[in-house]
């Protein structure tokens, strides 16, 4: 009887932990809403103020594992929600672990679509592991605003 109780308790704990982990993650709908919020902020607050706000690690554009990044259409990073060292760098040659030229693809998609989803592999800020990620992006003028979710 004790063994059955321990197994049931272990399963319950594992289920609870899995549910908590999923609850700590952003979903696709939240990513779309965050990107739309970023685009609206750029339009209302002005480019300089909005880019600073989007890059603020304690600001309104970071939620759990969801954060925004903003690129110019030439691949230069203009704002980054969790890594300010990327700001000002041209990332057009960036590749994921599989060699996918994701920035070139993203810029090409933005030339023909004003909004889209884009897949790549990237370091998850929670697990610190390379995970499949899906980015939602919207173009506004010469900027591309993106926010992503990890597909665990």
Mean pLDDT over all residues of the chain? 87
Q: What is the mean pLDDT of residues 28-44?
A: 98
Distance CA 36, CA 32 (A): 6
CATH of the domain at 57: 3.30.450.20
Please check the confidence at residue 85 and state whether its pLDDT lies above 90: yes
Distance CA 59, CA 66 (A): 12
Of 71, 66, 78, nearest in space to 109 by CA:
71
Q: In the prediction, which pLDDT does 8 show? A: 34
- In the chain, what percentage of residues exceed pLDDT 90? 78
Predicted TM-score of the model (pTM):
0.83
In a domain, 73, yes or no: yes
Total domains in the chain come to 1
Distance CA 106, CA 145 (A): 11
Q: What is the mean pLDDT of residues 55-79?
A: 96
For 129-145, give the DSSP string.
Answer: SEEEEEEEEEEETTEEE
In a domain, 72, yes or no: yes
In a domain, 6, yes or no: no
Structural domain of residue 73, as residue ranges?
27-150
């Amino acid at each position: 009887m004790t063994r059955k109780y321990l197994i049931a308790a272990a399963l319950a704990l594992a289920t609870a932990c899995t549910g908590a982990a999923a609850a700590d993650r952003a979903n696709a709908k939240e990513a779309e809403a965050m990107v739309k919020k970023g685009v609206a902020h750029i339009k209302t607050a002005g480019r300089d103020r909005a880019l600073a706000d989007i890059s603020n690690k304690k600001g309104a554009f970071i939620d759990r594992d969801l954060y925004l990044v903003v690129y110019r259409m030439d691949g230069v990073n203009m704002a980054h929600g969790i890594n300010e060292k990327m700001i000002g760098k041209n990332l057009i040659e960036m590749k994921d672990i599989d060699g996918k030229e994701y920035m070139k693809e993203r810029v090409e998609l933005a030339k023909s679509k004003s909004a889209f989803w884009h897949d790549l592999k990237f370091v998850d800020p929670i697990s610190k592991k390379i995970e499949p990620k899906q980015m939602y992006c919207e173009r506004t003028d010469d900027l591309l605003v993106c926010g992503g979710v990890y597909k665990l």
